[in-house]
A = this chain, B = another copy of it.
Amino acid sequence: MDTLLKAIAEPKRRDIIRLVWARELAAAEIAEYFPDVTRSAISQHLTVLRKNGVIHERREGTRRLYSVNRGEIIKLRAFLDSFWSDSLERLRDIAEVSELQKRAS
């Protein structure tokens, strides 16, 4: 979940998500929307998004078509929703945060 949040904290990656939200796009088509960085940079962003399950890759000849994996987005949204709305109730009891901390270490 940490890496997923970090993936979305990067503005170019959010733009990529928006680009492939409604339709499939090939890597080169995506890269065209970012004139001031190289294809390589975009390819690496695509790798990050793919490894976090945010986008799906489909090969067609020499091209690779990307589209959003909405299931993963929904998961992230659910995580954040519970973060906002449950924080008050859950953490009135401090013990739970202690647990989180112990697990993290």
Instruction: Supply 13 further A-B pairs (C-beta < 8 A) apart from A22-B91, A33-B94.
Output: A2-B9, A8-B9, A15-B100, A18-B91, A18-B97, A19-B91, A19-B97, A21-B87, A22-B87, A22-B92, A33-B98, A77-B80, A80-B80
CB pair B33–A88 under 8 Å, yes or no, is: no
Interface residue total, chain A, C-beta cutoff 8 A: 36
Which partner residue on chain B sits nearest A83 by CB separation?
B14
Residues of A within 8 A of B (CB): 2, 5-6, 8-12, 14-15, 17-19, 21-22, 33-36, 73, 77, 80, 83-84, 87-88, 90-92, 94, 97-98, 100-101, 104-105
Known contacts A9-B5, A77-B84, A100-B15; is A105 also within 8 Å of B36 by CB?
yes
